[in-house]
Amino acid sequence: MSGSSLTIGLRIFGALKSDVLSVRLLPNERLNIEALSDRYKVSLSPLREALVKLSATGLVVATDRKGYRVAGLSRADLRDIGHTRRHLERAALTDAMKHGDDEWEANIAGALHVLSKATQFEAGRPVYSLDWEKRHKAFHRSLVIACGSPRLMTMWENIFDQGIRYRQIAQALGLDHGDSAAEHAELFDLVTARKVKPAIECMEAHVGVAVRILIDTMDEEMVKCAGRVAALSGADTGRNTEAFA
């Protein structure tokens, strides 16, 4: 593959992923490849390659007619995402605290600072734009990257991304996530102090808050409504137009 083709493929993959995560492409929406080609101004070949790559992450699903649709949302799926992320992050965080060095600690501090600069508020509530989501993921990734396992990190990144759509839905519904900034600061303190048991407990509580809030309030009609609100919000405000590769 030429450098130009690779660049196009990465751009389309990032654009598709952003539109799925920000719910501009709605849960269970059928993906018409000709319409997507027109939407992203790209030929069919790199678009098909991007869809194949995205299907490996679980964000889109191949159908029995050689097409694709956006993966659906459900309480059971969210519960499974939360459960799986806690298991993966428990293992990765434990190993990271064993093996991390001074540079690892400095990178965590830097990622937390960058995340804090992205937090915006509307009517007293935090706004989770895709810029914030990217920085949020970078912070959590900095915590676990020193685990030393590329396979574990790949699984962790995929499951982390699965949760982003639910956070975007929660934002559209106006649900309160609690004080995530304070939780991030506490995670930083515990992890860099290598306090393994309290750090794991803090991480599990942090992950569990949003899962419990959504599971308690979510039903099919709310997901459909929130998906449309989030899609319109992203289209109208431009808050969520950044590529999330």
Highest mean pLDDT among 32-36, 189-193, 209-213: 189-193
User: For residue range 97-155, what is the model confidence (pLDDT) as tens digits?
Assistant: 999 999 999 999 999 999 998 876 665 666 677 788 899 999 999 999 999 999 999 99
Q: Which domains does the chain have, with CATH numbers?
A: 3-70 (1.10.10.10), 75-237 (1.20.120.530)
Highest mean pLDDT among 30-44, 116-130, 165-179, 190-204: 190-204
Output the CA–CA distances (angstroms, integers) from residue 223 to 24, 118, 145, 175, 187, in the order listed: 13, 26, 33, 13, 30
Instruction: Kindly report whether the global pTM for this prediction surpasses the value 0.75.
Output: yes
Q: Are 174 and 123 in contact (CB under 8 A)?
A: no
Tell me 84's DSSP state.
H
pLDDT of residue 118: 83
pLDDT of residue 132: 87
